[in-house]
Amino acid sequence: MVEGKVVLVTGAGGGIGRDIALAMARHGARVVVNDIGAAVDGAGHSAGPAQQVVDEIHAIGGEAVPSTDSVADAAAAARIVQCAVDNFGRIDAVVNNAGILRDRFFHKMSVDEWDSVIKIHLYGSYFVSRAAATFFKEQNAGAMVHMTSTSGLIGNFGQANYAAAKLGIAALSKSIALDMLKFNVRSNCIAPFAWSRMIGAIPTDTDEQKARVAKIQQMTPSKIAPLAVYLASDAAHEVNGQIFSVRNNEISLISQPRPLRSVHRAEGWTPQSIAEHAMPAMRASFYPLDRSADVFSWDPI
């Protein structure tokens, strides 16, 4: 479905990114495998993971080159995109998958923990997408696939940095879809459920946590790849500005914020009338403090 296309996958040295890169290659794409080879928290740097995936792609008869630049720097992100153009002459699709985790309850979160996660996920998605956008505009075609998360779309404990970045990515994707529609550029999001190195950092101190992780382990990264390949392909030419989740064998279309209920008072509102009228009228439609696991409460199918 992506025969002959040039696809850049960030964070492709392992986990979801690796499976997406391999799937792109199996379906005929030439792939830039980007990964800095860092630990889950972003520490360290190694060319090994990216090169290993490139070797795997070569072993199945595909074409791929490694990239070890960081998405968290604008100039480096531009080099990642340029790597595709220099090696393959063009760039057709970007999969923004690179990320780190530095979980902490909000009242304990440091500025560095906040900043580092926002920088990789949100800034990284922007930097890579912005660099690719110039080429997409010139060739009047292109596709972007961004990894969001139900941690941001719904909520989760101890992930204010990650959740804020991932919800920001959903808004970024929608803005790209709107701004670049006239240039035949599409932008969509995937909220993946998959056992990966990042998810492996989830605590397993209690029986409840152990049971949760056991369920997640059923959901392998390879289950995410088919949707990413499809969204990068011409078959998805009418799919734009959407958010999907993939949970084992389930694909869901995720809702986007719209007005749910409203109240009107001809003379306007006072703080007291809001307390006495507006809030009681809307309270039945208030959202509970759900987490991702509360909304996706059934076992993976």
Q: Which residues are catalytic?
A: 162
Contact 89, 32 (CB under 8 A): no
Rounded distance between C-alpha atoms, residue 182 and residue 174, angstroms: 14
Rounded distance between C-alpha atoms, residue 62 and residue 54, angstroms: 9
The helix, strand and coil proportions of the chain, stated in percent and rounded to the nearest 5, come to 50, 15, 35
Q: The tokens of 48 are what?
A: 């090994």
Contact 252, 245 (CB under 8 A): yes
CA distance from start to end of the chain: 26
Rounded distance between C-alpha atoms, residue 33 and residue 14, angstroms: 10
Residue 212, exposed/middle/buried by CB under 10 A (0-12, 13-18, 19+)? middle
**Please, which residues bridge with residue 278 across strands?**
none
